[in-house]
Structure 1
Amino acid sequence: MDETPGEPRFTDDEYAFLRHVRFGELPPAVRPEERVELTETDPGRGRPAEEPDRWDLRHGGAG
């Protein structure tokens, strides 16, 4: 049996209300025209510049 005695059972509407009480209103969704493309400008830290193959040793790459 899946039901545990003494455990309350909620409807979907009750769960939605509890989420609203706990987290409040969600922010408005970002529209596609407001989205921007992410551009990484920070160089990878700890990555060997001279030997990029050495970076992948823990994944079984050749070294």
Structure 2
Amino acid sequence: YLLKPDFMRRPDRTFDPYAESPVVGVIVFVVVAVVDIFVSNEGLGADTVSVSIRFRRKDEVLDVR
């Protein structure tokens, strides 16, 4: 049993699932997922210590940034 969100219960608001305008009271959260044949390992920190390494196999390093 789930209740409708507040913006869907209010008579002064209308909900259109096909509208491009944002829904009042909803915060957008963007998730970026990348499917790749490589394994990436990123170590983040200051610009001088950040590193990004891509592997195809355990003995083959493709790219070090």
TM-score using structure 1 length: 0.23
Decide which structure has the larger Cα Rg and report it.
Answer: 1
**More contact order relative to length (CA 8 Å, sep ≥ 6):** 2
Of Structure 1 and Structure 2, which has the larger fraction of its residues in strand? 2
Of Structure 1 and Structure 2, which has the larger fraction of its residues in helix? 1
